[in-house]
């Protein structure tokens, strides 16, 4: 299954969506489209929105396109302006604001522009707020309460021990273990770090026994992920995980390595 997924990552893919799509700046809708596409550039693991040129209330100014890094997988941490397929990049000019390199037309998608999600203040599909990046219709996030025993340790020190974890099974990603706060034995200190997941919401991070950003929680997740509210997950890349007495290996493979690089998890 993962070999097939990696093979498809090498292609420029797109498909239409009938969702009413709006992207705004300073409270004004700059993008307004019911004829959008989801576009996956080669090697990118998340899609971008593309809309007909006529659905953008702004001027497109051609600019040079930047080449994408030479890596097997491109995560959201790789800048939008670095493209992995031939085409034309544009600045988007709206009034006195310029969004540098925020639009791109692949050679095979004439008449459409792919847009940089993060360049805009707000995105909605119908009346639903979108965060992080466009959601992939082929990406599942299954959250399952479990009665397995999960133990988390680092350098021989037990950090958490739970028989009521919630396991999160997410397409192409490693399984994550979310534990009740009461089952975390270590000291948790909030840090300033915040990240955003399109499928779960905004995450807040903890230092654990003095190790920065070793764990995270969703204090107010998106509606689809409410059952994760307040649960604590640890980076499996940086801790030792034992499930029902069996030691799990550290996450591996091209996507795991790309995530490890993006978040600096070799610590």
* 50-61 pLDDT tens trace: 999 999 999 999
What are the contacts of 177-181 at 24+ separation with CB within 8 A? 177/150, 177/152, 177/233, 177/234, 177/236, 177/241, 177/243, 178/143, 178/228, 178/231, 178/232, 178/233, 179/150, 179/152, 179/231, 179/232, 179/233, 180/230, 180/231, 180/232, 181/217, 181/230, 181/231, 181/232
Q: Give residue 172's pLDDT.
A: 87
Reported as a single tens digit per residue, the pLDDT across 239-252 is 999 999 999 988 88
CATH 2.170.150.40 in the chain: give the residue spans: 2-130, 141-263
pLDDT digits (tens, 9 = 90+) for 198-224: 999 999 999 999 999 999 999 999 999
As a whole number, the mean pLDDT across the chain is 93
Question: Which whole number is the average pLDDT over 134-161?
Answer: 97
Q: Which CATH number fits domain 141-263: 2.170.150.40, 2.40.50.140, 3.40.640.10, 2.60.40.1930?
A: 2.170.150.40
State pLDDT tens for residues 32-77: 999 999 999 999 999 999 999 999 999 999 999 888 888 899 999 8
Convert the pLDDT of each residue in 127-143 to its tens digit: 999 999 999 999 999 99
Beta bridge partners of 93: 59, 98
Number of Cβ within a 10 Å radius of residue 148: 13
Please check the confidence at residue 1 and state whether its pLDDT lies above 90.
Answer: no
Task: Let me know if domain 2-130 sits in CATH 2.30.300.10.
Answer: no
């Amino acid at each position: 299954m993962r070999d097939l997924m990696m093979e498809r990552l090498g292609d420029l893919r797109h498909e239409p969506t009938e969702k009413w799509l709006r992207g705004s700046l300073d409270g004004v809708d700059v993008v307004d489209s019911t004829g959008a596409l989801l576009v996956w550039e080669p090697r990118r693991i998340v899609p971008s929105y593309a809309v007909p040129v006529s659905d953008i209330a702004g001027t497109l100014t051609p600019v040079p396109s930047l080449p994408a890094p030479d890596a097997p997988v491109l995560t959201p941490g790789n800048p939008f302006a670095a493209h992995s397929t031939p085409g034309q990049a544009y600045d988007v000019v709206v009034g006195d604001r310029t969004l540098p390199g925020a639009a791109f037309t692949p050679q095979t998608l004439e008449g459409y522009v792919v847009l940089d999600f993060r360049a805009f203040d707000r995105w909605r599909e119908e009346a639903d707020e979108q965060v992080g990046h466009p959601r992939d219709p082929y990406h599942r996030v299954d959250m399952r309460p479990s009665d397995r025993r999960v133990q988390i340790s680092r350098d021989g020190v037990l950090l958490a021990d739970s028989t009521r974890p919630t396991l999160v099974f997410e397409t192409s990603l490693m399984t994550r273990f979310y534990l009740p706060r009461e089952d975390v034995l270590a000291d948790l200190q909030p840090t300033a770090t915040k990240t955003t997941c399109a499928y779960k919401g905004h995450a807040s991070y903890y230092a654990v026994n003095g190790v920065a950003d070793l764990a995270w929680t969703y204090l107010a997740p998106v509606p689809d992920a409410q059952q994760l509210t307040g649960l604590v997950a640890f980076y499996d890349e940086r801790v030792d995980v034992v499930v029902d007495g069996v030691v799990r290996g550290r996450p591996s493979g091209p996507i795991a390595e790309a995530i490890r690089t993006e978040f600096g998890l070799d610590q």
